[in-house]
Structure 1
Amino acid sequence: MGFKIAIAGATGNVGREMLNILAERAFPVSDVVALASSRSVGTEVSFGDKTLKVKNLETHDFSDTDICLMSAGGSVSKTWSPKIGAQGCVVIDNSSAWRYDADVPLIVPEVNPDAISGYTKRNIIANPNCSTAQLVVALKPLHDHAKIKRLVVSTYQSVSGAGKDGMDELFNQTRAVFVADPISSHKFTKRIAFNVIPHIDVFMEDGYTKEEWKVLAETKKMLDPKIKVTCTAVRVPVFIGHSESVNIEFESEISAEEARDILRDAPGCQVIDKHEDGGYITPYECAGEDATYISRIREDATVENGLNMWIVSDNLRKGAALNAVQIAELLVNRRLISPRLAA
């Protein structure tokens, strides 16, 4: 007997990717239900070789559903995740709504799988921010070996992190440049085509943006609250794939060669690091891939026990949909849930 799975926000970029990944990884399902707002009811989405008609989230009965993969935005999750969890269905939420709640585990399976047992307090599990997910996958094995003291992170985030509207804006602006049409900006604060924007999410009182704060708060929650973290988040004209330049200061000595060896053996990591033209990974090459790729590993001579590295991953997969499905797999593999219909 398989599990009944609901996808809330099934018509969005991440929701569609969740459906693809459930099928690709042969998740043990008995039934999959695609859900969205009332305006999307009747829209068709694909699940493997099947076509699903989208149903209304607000009228769906979750009493016989085992897991809800929630990718409908923070405000929707704030309203509906507690209601769904109260019906006995475990919610794995992709928004930022629950990440900082002490009673909700924030999970990257390669990093802190044991924390998942805390989901029973609310029946909600949080998926981290896309840029944090790939970051901590690469940092965890290094932290275990030499203990990280301080991180300086600069992100280069693709427009798909802003949803379909962000991707459409990059496409439309790029086309407008080549045909000399007027360029208008609606999703982003400035033109994104052939440009970079050092601003993601809202500004906070200290001058950092909410996106930058998320990297700090989530890294501390999942990896180690003692790590000092600072971040600059930048939107770049790339459709899919987030990149990060990361400077790490460790408590103990660690060489670049040791770091390469550790990361080559680490779950979810793929090292591509040759000191030659093209001997590194770019976001274009990581699109559609599950791994977190690490390149440009080198020692930083300006600090004691310092390393620099370049981290790239598909933000729609490991940064969102794949990680959510991996959390669901963790629930199943650890026998933390069983199919309710079978019971």
Structure 2
Amino acid sequence: MSGYRVAVVGATGNVGREILNVLAERQFPLAEVAAVASARSTGDIIDFGDTGQELKVKNLDHFDFEGWDMALFAAGSEISKVHVPRAAAAGCTVIDNSSLYRMDPDVPLIVPEVNAHAIDGYRAKNIIANPNCSTAQMVVALKPLHDVARIKRVVVATYQSVSGAGKAGMDELFEQSRNIFVGDANEPRKFTKQIAFNVIPHIDSFLEDGSTKEEWKMVVETKKILDPRIKISATCVRVPVFVGHSEAVNVEFEEEISAEEAQAILREAPGVMLVDKREDGGYVTPVECVGDYATFVSRVREDPTVDSGLSMWVVSDNLRKGAALNAVQIAELLGRRHLQKAA
């Protein structure tokens, strides 16, 4: 049979389910698809997108990766630590959504619109890493501008939805919002402070220099994907939005570039949708990006405080471009460049 045998690990989670949806929507050439998860989900039935096909969840602990072409992991670093090497050793190329392998020099960290050529290094470990959700959307917007005017420095503040913290994060926002309206107790569990009607400038653990690990990820991953010479400062904030990450991005360039030039470049850039009307509602917010493949860029304007600077607003569905879509795009790229099975 033509097509690829693909296993989706963590198939019952937010990102795993979205990977299955995207595989179906993009009509990825499949000979077979397996939904794989932990023992507690074994035997559950989940939908394969809107195809009408149902998948019975297989137990990861007992799953044999031999004979499978690709495994798309969306199960977290602890699971990846145990099972990614096992899958890779069995000859199954792994695309891992966790942070575990991102900074491994022998593992390519890929955003297909930005550094597709780097995928050629996957053979070293038979593993490809998917970047952090906030990094992915930012570099899609920065790459075409960097190619023209060379970026010197980026300062970014993120507004990250609770779905980035998984189902528990989404449940906590819903429950706290309801509790506030009815006057029930409202203690945080998933987050360090109340997330409903609040913002929390803290994602992941704190490092010695006062930054958080999420902020560190944006810095080091952007350098690895785009250019190690770029200086980056990030402040990552959790906001009471269910799906969709937003970023206020300020960029300083080596060469002069006007807002109009940047808009023209972004209008033609792969993966980018420019929505930038200087009027009420002439920009994109998280609500409008949900379910979409694009990285939306709005509010492109010149920064008068530096010789050559721009500010912009970048929004994307974090479960899609930030995770599932990028993973499937990597799989498509891997197929085109290396595996080359017919559809």
TM interval, short-chain normalised: over 0.9
Which AA in structure 2 matches 1:262? I
Correspondence for 1:199 = 202
* Structure-to-structure mapping, 1:159-174, within 5 angstroms: 159-174=162-177
| CA drift at 1:203 | 0.1
Quote the residue 2:43 is aligned against.
Answer: 42
Distance in 2 between residues matched to 1:179 and 1:53, nearest whole Å? 39
Equivalent of residue 304 in structure 2, options 301, 311, 323: 301
> Is structure 2 residue 19 aligned with structure 1 residue 22?
no
- Candidates 250, 255, 258, aligned match of 1:255: 258
- Aligned partner of 1:142 in structure 2 is 145
Could you state the TM-score of these two structures normalised by the residue count of structure 1? 0.98
- SS of residue matched to 2:171: helix
Alignment partners' CA distance in 1, 2:151 and 2:164: 27
- Show CA shifts across 1:126-177 (max 9, x none): 0000000000000000000000000000000000000000000000000111
Q: Give, in whole Å, the separation in 2 of the partners of 1:83 and 1:9.
A: 16
Amino acid across the alignment from 2:26: R
Q: Measure, in 1, the Cα distance between the counterparts of 2:127 and 2:328.
A: 14
CA distance in 2, matches of 1:64, 1:248: 46
Amino acid at match of 1:151: V
Could you give the per-residue CA deviations for residues 81-134 of structure 1, whole angstroms, max 9, x where no partner exists?
Answer: 111001100000000000000000000000000000000000000000000000
- Corresponding pairs, count: 339
- Secondary structure of 1:111 counterpart: helix
Name whichever of 71-80 and 146-155 sits farther off: 71-80
Name the aligned partner's letter for residue 20 of structure 2. L
Counterpart in the other structure of 1:151:
154
What SS class does the counterpart of residue 196 from structure 1 fall into? coil
Cα-Cα RMSD: 0.8
Shift of 1:39: 1.0
Q: Deviations over 1:5-30 (max 9, x none)?
A: 00000000000000000000000001
TM-score, normalization by structure 2: 0.98
Q: Secondary structure at the match of 1:112?
A: helix
Match of 2:292 in 1: 289
What is the letter of the counterpart of residue 275 of structure 1? R
Aligned to 1:274: 277
Report the CA distance between 1:49 and its aligned residue.
1.2
Structure 2 counterpart of 1:67, one-letter code: M
Q: Secondary structure at the match of 1:244?
A: strand
Map Cα deviations across residues 225-272 of structure 1 (whole Å, 9 max, x no partner).
000000000000000000000000000000000000000000000000
**Aligned residue for 1:177?**
180
| 1:241 is aligned to 2:244 | yes
Q: Which residue of 1 aligns with 2:339?
A: 337
By how many angstroms is 1:281 displaced?
Answer: 0.4
What displacement does 1:43 show?
Answer: 1.4
2:220 maps to 217
Is residue 2:80 matched to residue 1:80? Answer: no
Bigger shift: 239-248 or 174-183? 174-183
Q: Which runs of 5+ in 1 are unaligned?
A: none
Runs of 4+ in 1 over 6 A off after TM superposition: none
Determine helix, strand or coil for the equivalent of 1:260. Answer: helix
Aligned runs of 1:59-138 on 2, under 5 Å? 59-138=62-141
Q: Which amino acid aligns with 1:270?
A: M
Gaps of 5+ in 2: none
SS in 1 for 2:112: coil
Q: Residue deviations 1:168-200, cap 9 Å, x none?
A: 000000011111111121000000000000000
Which residue identity does 1:24 align to in structure 2? E
Identity across aligned pairs (percent)? 66
What letter is aligned with 2:39? S
Q: Does 1:317 align with 2:299?
A: no
Q: Which amino acid in the other structure matches residue 27 of structure 1? A: F
Distance 2:88 2:266 in 1: 37
Q: Secondary structure at the match of 2:114?
A: coil
> Do structure 1's residue 232 and structure 2's residue 235 form an aligned pair?
yes
Report the Cα offset of residue 338 of structure 1. Answer: 4.6
User: Per-residue deviation at 1:333?
Assistant: 1.5
Give me the whole-angstrom Cα distance separating, in 2, the residues matched to 1:227 and 1:41. 45
